[in-house]
């Protein structure tokens, strides 16, 4: 009976200790969308590195290049070309191993050349994205992402 109480207490202690870390991890994921993707023009390198590892791996490689600098370049591009961009998680599924699957909704109106649409048409787009985000030590270390940019182009060029 003593062993059972000890194991139960240990399990409760472990759950208590890991709970806040996971809560912090999901907050990191949410901040990626609210602070970075929804305000790309206002994103600073300091804020970016509060959320991302300097060794972050993004697959596929973003248009701005590999690694943290490539992601920063891409965010800066989005801030210039789609200044009203919003990117809101519609669903976040926590897998329990530091990974989060995020179904997002991105919307905005490009003001310059965007994925081959040149000149800007004044039309807006709204697309879905699916991301798998890994958080380790409170920082995003890997992100697999798929965005419906073909759908965005179709909306921007619709007659």
| 153 to 64, 75, 85, 115, 127: CA distances (angstroms) | 19, 19, 15, 7, 10
121-136 pLDDT, tens digit each? 999 999 999 999 999 9
What is the tens place of the pLDDT at every residue in 64-74? 999 999 999 99
Helices (H), the chain: 2-31, 45-51, 67-81, 149-157
What domains are there in the chain, each with its CATH number?
24-157 (3.10.450.50)
| pTM of the predicted protein model | 0.83
Look over the chain and give the mean of its residue pLDDT values, rounded to a whole number.
89
| pLDDT digit string, tens, across residues 34-53 | 999 999 999 999 999 999 99
């Amino acid at each position: 009976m003593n062993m059972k109480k000890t194991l139960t207490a240990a399990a409760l202690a472990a759950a208590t200790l890991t709970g806040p870390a996971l809560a912090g991890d999901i907050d990191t994921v949410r901040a990626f969308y609210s602070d970075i993707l929804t305000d790309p023009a206002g994103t600073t390198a300091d804020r970016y590195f509060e959320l991302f590892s300097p060794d972050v791996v993004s697959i596929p490689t973003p248009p701005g290049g590999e690694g943290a600098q490539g992601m920063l370049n891409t965010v800066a591009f989005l801030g210039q070309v789609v200044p009203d961009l919003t990117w809101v998680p519609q669903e976040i599924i926590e897998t329990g191993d530091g990974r989060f699957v995020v179904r997002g909704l991105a919307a905005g109106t490009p003001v310059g050349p965007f994925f081959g649409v040149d000149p800007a048409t004044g039309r807006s787009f709204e697309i879905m994205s699916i991301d798998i985000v890994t958080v380790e030590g409170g920082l995003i270390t890997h992100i697999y992402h798929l965005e419906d940019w073909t759908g965005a182009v179709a909306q921007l060029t619709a007659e």
